[in-house]
Amino acid sequence: MNISSIVIQCLPKYYDEVVEWCNQNSDICEYHFGDKEKGKIIVTIEGADVNEEVEKLLKIQQAPHIIAADMMMTYQEDLDDAIKELESAEDVPELLTKEDVDPDTVVYHGDLKKKL
Protein backbone atom coordinates (compact mmCIF):
# COMPACT_ATOMS: atom_id res chain seq x y z
CA MET A 1 0.00 0.00 0.00
CA ASN A 2 1.28 3.43 -0.97
CA ILE A 3 0.07 6.67 0.63
CA SER A 4 0.99 10.10 -0.74
CA SER A 5 0.16 13.69 0.03
CA ILE A 6 -0.90 15.99 -2.78
CA VAL A 7 -0.91 19.79 -2.75
CA ILE A 8 -3.64 21.19 -4.98
CA GLN A 9 -3.55 24.78 -6.21
CA CYS A 10 -6.66 26.58 -7.42
CA LEU A 11 -7.93 30.14 -7.56
CA PRO A 12 -9.38 31.16 -4.17
CA LYS A 13 -12.79 31.79 -5.78
CA TYR A 14 -12.95 28.06 -6.70
CA TYR A 15 -11.65 26.74 -3.39
CA ASP A 16 -15.03 25.55 -2.08
CA GLU A 17 -15.87 23.84 -5.37
CA VAL A 18 -12.54 21.99 -5.44
CA VAL A 19 -12.93 20.88 -1.81
CA GLU A 20 -16.44 19.66 -2.65
CA TRP A 21 -15.06 17.75 -5.66
CA CYS A 22 -12.48 16.11 -3.37
CA ASN A 23 -15.16 15.14 -0.86
CA GLN A 24 -17.41 13.73 -3.60
CA ASN A 25 -14.51 11.70 -5.02
CA SER A 26 -13.35 9.99 -1.85
CA ASP A 27 -12.40 6.96 -3.95
CA ILE A 28 -9.69 9.17 -5.49
CA CYS A 29 -8.51 11.34 -2.60
CA GLU A 30 -9.19 12.36 0.97
CA TYR A 31 -9.40 16.06 1.83
CA HIS A 32 -7.57 17.12 5.00
CA PHE A 33 -7.21 20.90 5.12
CA GLY A 34 -6.32 23.96 3.10
CA ASP A 35 -5.96 27.71 2.88
CA LYS A 36 -8.86 29.34 1.08
CA GLU A 37 -7.10 32.72 0.73
CA LYS A 38 -4.16 31.08 -1.07
CA GLY A 39 -6.22 28.46 -2.91
CA LYS A 40 -4.12 25.60 -1.54
CA ILE A 41 -5.61 22.26 -0.56
CA ILE A 42 -3.96 19.21 1.00
CA VAL A 43 -5.27 15.74 0.19
CA THR A 44 -3.93 12.21 0.43
CA ILE A 45 -4.22 9.39 -2.06
CA GLU A 46 -3.76 5.67 -1.53
CA GLY A 47 -2.89 2.99 -4.01
CA ALA A 48 -1.81 -0.61 -4.21
CA ASP A 49 1.22 0.56 -6.19
CA VAL A 50 2.77 3.59 -7.86
CA ASN A 51 0.69 3.12 -11.03
CA GLU A 52 -2.57 3.42 -9.09
CA GLU A 53 -1.31 6.53 -7.33
CA VAL A 54 -0.29 8.14 -10.63
CA GLU A 55 -3.74 7.39 -12.09
CA LYS A 56 -5.38 9.12 -9.12
CA LEU A 57 -3.00 12.08 -9.35
CA LEU A 58 -3.85 12.50 -13.04
CA LYS A 59 -7.59 12.48 -12.23
CA ILE A 60 -7.03 15.22 -9.66
CA GLN A 61 -4.97 17.27 -12.12
CA GLN A 62 -7.77 17.01 -14.70
CA ALA A 63 -10.56 18.03 -12.30
CA PRO A 64 -12.30 21.37 -12.86
CA HIS A 65 -10.61 24.55 -11.61
CA ILE A 66 -7.36 22.87 -10.59
CA ILE A 67 -4.28 24.82 -11.67
CA ALA A 68 -1.78 22.30 -10.32
CA ALA A 69 -1.69 19.14 -8.20
CA ASP A 70 1.70 17.83 -7.15
CA MET A 71 2.82 14.89 -5.06
CA MET A 72 4.81 16.15 -2.09
CA MET A 73 5.49 13.13 0.11
CA THR A 74 4.99 9.42 -0.28
CA TYR A 75 5.14 6.34 1.92
CA GLN A 76 5.51 2.80 0.63
CA GLU A 77 4.99 -0.11 3.02
CA ASP A 78 7.21 -2.36 0.89
CA LEU A 79 10.09 0.13 0.99
CA ASP A 80 11.54 -1.31 4.20
CA ASP A 81 11.63 -4.78 2.62
CA ALA A 82 13.27 -3.37 -0.51
CA ILE A 83 15.96 -1.64 1.58
CA LYS A 84 16.67 -4.87 3.51
CA GLU A 85 16.93 -6.78 0.23
CA LEU A 86 19.34 -4.20 -1.17
CA GLU A 87 21.49 -4.27 1.95
CA SER A 88 21.71 -8.07 1.98
CA ALA A 89 22.46 -8.51 -1.74
CA GLU A 90 26.05 -9.57 -2.37
CA ASP A 91 26.50 -7.70 -5.64
CA VAL A 92 25.55 -4.29 -4.21
CA PRO A 93 28.57 -2.02 -3.75
CA GLU A 94 29.22 -1.16 -0.11
CA LEU A 95 29.03 2.50 -1.13
CA LEU A 96 25.26 2.19 -1.61
CA THR A 97 24.58 0.72 1.82
CA LYS A 98 26.74 2.93 4.03
CA GLU A 99 25.20 6.02 5.60
CA ASP A 100 28.45 7.84 6.44
CA VAL A 101 30.01 8.04 2.98
CA ASP A 102 31.87 11.27 2.30
CA PRO A 103 30.61 12.38 -1.15
CA ASP A 104 34.00 13.96 -1.89
CA THR A 105 35.57 10.48 -1.87
CA VAL A 106 33.21 9.06 -4.49
CA VAL A 107 34.79 8.58 -7.90
CA TYR A 108 32.21 7.78 -10.55
CA HIS A 109 33.25 5.78 -13.63
CA GLY A 110 29.78 5.26 -15.08
CA ASP A 111 29.31 2.05 -13.10
CA LEU A 112 29.20 1.95 -9.30
CA LYS A 113 30.55 -1.61 -9.34
CA LYS A 114 33.79 -0.17 -10.76
CA LYS A 115 34.06 2.37 -7.94
CA LEU A 116 37.20 0.78 -6.44
Secondary structure E strands in the chain: 2-10, 30-35, 40-47, 66-76
Give how many domains the chain has, as a whole number.
Answer: 2
User: Are 20 and 68 contained in the same domain?
Assistant: yes
Across the chain, mean pLDDT equals 85
DSSP at 63: S
Give the pLDDT confidence of 44-72 residue by residue, as tens digits: 999 988 889 999 999 999 999 999 999 99
**Category of 39 on φ-ψ map: left (φ > 0), alpha (ψ -120 to 50) or beta:** left
Taking the model in full, what pTM does it have? Answer: 0.67
User: Are 15 and 42 contained in the same domain?
Assistant: yes
Print the domain residue range for 104: 88-114
Buried b (16+ CB within 10 A) or exposed e, 47-63: beeeeebeebbeebeeb
User: Are 52 and 19 contained in the same domain?
Assistant: yes
101 belongs to a structural domain: yes
User: Are 72 and 92 contained in the same domain?
Assistant: no
Give the pLDDT confidence of 24-34 residue by residue, as tens digits: 999 999 999 99
